[in-house]
Amino acid sequence: MNLRLLLAVAVLAGGASAVVDRNVHRALQQNGKVDVIVTMKTSKNVAESFHESAYPSRTKRIEALKAELETTHAQALQPLANLMLKESTHGDHEFKTFWISPVASLKSATPELVAKLAELPGVDSIREELHIQIDEPVVEAASAAHEAVTGQEWGVKRIGAPQVWADGTTGQGIVVGVIDTGARSTHEVLKRGFLGKYGWFDPETKSAKPYDPFGHGTHVVGTIAGANGFGVAPAAKWMMCKACRVGKKCPETDLLDCAQFMLCPTDTDGKNPDCSKAPRIVSNSWGGGQGNFWYKDAVNAWIKAGMVPVFAMGNAGQYGCETANSPGDYPNVIGVGSTTIRDELSWFSSRGPTVNGRTKPDISAPGSSIKSAYNGSDVDYAYLSGTSMATPHVSGAVALLLSQNPEMELDEIKVTLYTTTDQSGLWSNETCGGTSDAVWPNNQFGHGRLNIFNAYQGFRPAPTPRSST
């Protein structure tokens, strides 16, 4: 390590580095450079102060929210932007700001630059950029080309979706946003549901057409809105933001870009925003870490915009209790666990409680041995298991509710879903956070297994008492 680097690291080790995370120090000592996320303090919390009822339409509401987020966060980020304007003459630093949250990303920051960042007024924290590893689904069977695509998948039937369809509600009029690995939009069960213009964004490559190198996102979309009995809400439209790259790693910067895209969609180049295209639901089959609130500003903005955030709880159930992932462990999202065809808790389904003692998941849905569209061809299918597969069942169910009653907001949707679940027969033989299967909600299943037909009818069955012995 040269003298200049030693001096810079020494400065960071002093009082001026109180805002610098220890992992940044470690990375600088090992590599000499580090990709960082800088979070600034703001004059106000936009989501808390925004009065959504003041706007006559949803589009006007979102446009006003976006404008307020942009103004407030640009003001907070100004000292950082000024510094980077000066630094641009001294090095090639890739610098990017976001408007949905008061953060900026900086690639290949040197110790000297990090020291300058730490001295800026209003800096709240400097940490390494996160790379969320999308939970690897369990492949139950090899991908099969053009198996029979008639009938209804077991998960779709188990939650009562066909009974809702029989009443004429199939998700019509609702757009579901998905943040994932991409999607094969030409697949035979997906092509009719693709939103088209303003329905696709890839922050990494700005590709003009949807694609999915991994299959995960294609599978998820199939369960939300696939035709031929694969999707819970087959008449819903879907849109995709591809946030996950090689190795199924989802960079924090891409996830923030996708959060902005969902709030106010753009064209495939990230330009010409049209907030009227914002989805009503955002389905997220990704997550990582615990008690990590780096995505809270995005989630709070979605909720203020009248959007429903649905998140997978993660596939760490084999490690026992207290394995719920972020952002699924946030208090204001719908966090989803997984069940089997026998209504048992899937072995991989992450359990609660959260690090703050909150009960999670909120609800469970079929997630084991789920057949859906895959990315190999337009007639490709695969059986996968994971909370990634359970989550789109819930997202599709919310689309059915909103198709019936478009004015429903998040809190009403939660109450409707949580008070109409199936509980009788659910079994895990576990106790997490002091809650056994006999207590509802619990840290294994949440409020129970989703039953969208009950929710659609407004039926609220009484929980079935059972012995804890």
What's the token pair of residue 176? 């579901």
Lookup result for tokens 């998820």 = 220
Cα separation, 424 vs 438, in Å, equals: 10
Cβ neighbours of residue 49 under 8 Å, at least 6 residues apart?
none
CB-based contact 362:350 (threshold 8 Å): no
Q: Residues 162-172: pLDDT tens digits? A: 999 999 999 99
Q: Which pLDDT score, from 0 to 100, does residue 88 have? A: 74
CB count in 10 Å sphere of residue 89: 6
Q: Residues 353-376: pLDDT tens digits? A: 999 999 999 999 999 999 999 999
Q: Residues 221-265: pLDDT tens digits? A: 999 999 999 999 999 999 999 999 988 799 999 999 999 999 999
Distances (CA, A) of 350 to 344, 376, 386, 433: 14, 29, 10, 13
Q: Which pLDDT score, from 0 to 100, does residue 217 have? A: 97
49-53, 86-90, 267-271: which range is least confident on average?
A: 86-90
In which band, very low, low, confident or very high, does the pLDDT at 17 lie, cut at 50, 70 and 90?
A: low
pLDDT(6) > 80: no
CB count in 10 Å sphere of residue 248: 18
Q: Which of 250, 449, 305 is nearest to 367 (CA)?
A: 449
Judged by phi (left if over 0) then psi (alpha if -120 to 50, else beta), residue 126 lies in beta
CATH assignment, 133-457 = 3.40.50.200
CB-based contact 393:288 (threshold 8 Å): no
Q: Is 131 a catalytic residue?
A: no
In which band, very low, low, confident or very high, does the pLDDT at 345 lie, cut at 50, 70 and 90?
A: very high
Cα separation, 101 vs 47, in Å, equals: 11
39-43, 91-95, 299-303: which range is least confident on average?
A: 91-95
Rounded mean pLDDT of 418-431? 94
Cα separation, 430 vs 427, in Å, equals: 8
pLDDT(149) > 90: no
Q: What is the DSSP letter of 318?
A: G
Cα separation, 330 vs 418, in Å, equals: 16
Q: Which pLDDT score, from 0 to 100, does residue 7 have? A: 42
pTM metric for this prediction? 0.93
Percent helix, strand and coil across the chain, each to the nearest 5: 35, 20, 50
Cα separation, 314 vs 334, in Å, equals: 13
What's the token pair of residue 337? 């666990």
What's the token pair of residue 102? 């008061």
Q: Is 388 a catalytic residue?
A: yes
Residues 418-429: b if buried by 16+ CB within 10 A, e if exposed: bbbbbbeebebe
Q: Which pLDDT score, from 0 to 100, does residue 36 have? A: 97
* From 73, 187, 216, 447, active-site residue: 216
**Residue type present at position 451:** N
Q: Which pLDDT score, from 0 to 100, does residue 248 have? A: 79
* Cα 25 to the center of its chain, rounded Å: 30
Q: Which pLDDT score, from 0 to 100, does residue 195 have? A: 98
CB count in 10 Å sphere of residue 205: 10
Q: Which pLDDT score, from 0 to 100, does residue 11 have? A: 46
Measured at the CA of 391, the angle between CA 388 and CA 392, to 5 degrees, comes to: 100
90-99, 281-290, 305-314, 318-327: which range is least confident on average?
A: 90-99
Q: Residues 21-37: pLDDT tens digits? A: 999 999 999 999 999 99
Strand partners, 427: 344
Q: Which of 306, 307, 298, 300 is nearest to 98 (CA)?
A: 298
pLDDT(465) > 70: no
| Domain residue spans of the chain | 3-129, 133-457
Cα separation, 364 vs 312, in Å, equals: 10
- Read off φ and ψ for residue 138, nearest 5 degrees: -85, 120
* From 101, 364, 368, 388, active-site residue: 388
In which band, very low, low, confident or very high, does the pLDDT at 137 lie, cut at 50, 70 and 90?
A: confident
CB-based contact 372:382 (threshold 8 Å): yes
pLDDT(384) > 70: yes
CB-based contact 421:361 (threshold 8 Å): no
Give the total residue count for the chain: 469
Strand partners, 131: 251
Percent of the chain with pLDDT over 70: 90
Distances (CA, A) of 414 to 60, 76, 261, 276: 25, 34, 24, 24
- Read off φ and ψ for residue 309, nearest 5 degrees: -90, 120
pLDDT(91) > 70: no
Q: Which of 285, 199, 297, 202 is nearest to 243 (CA)?
A: 202
Q: Which pLDDT score, from 0 to 100, does residue 458 have? A: 84
Q: Which pLDDT score, from 0 to 100, does residue 139 have? A: 67
In which band, very low, low, confident or very high, does the pLDDT at 19 lie, cut at 50, 70 and 90?
A: very high
* From 180, 329, 343, 422, active-site residue: 180
Q: Which pLDDT score, from 0 to 100, does residue 427 have? A: 86
Q: Which of 213, 143, 211, 214 is nearest to 183 (CA)?
A: 211
- Given the DSSP bridges, would you call strands 334-339 and 308-312 parallel, antiparallel or unpaired? parallel
Average pLDDT, the chain: 92
Q: Which pLDDT score, from 0 to 100, does residue 145 have? A: 40
Q: Is 180 a catalytic residue?
A: yes
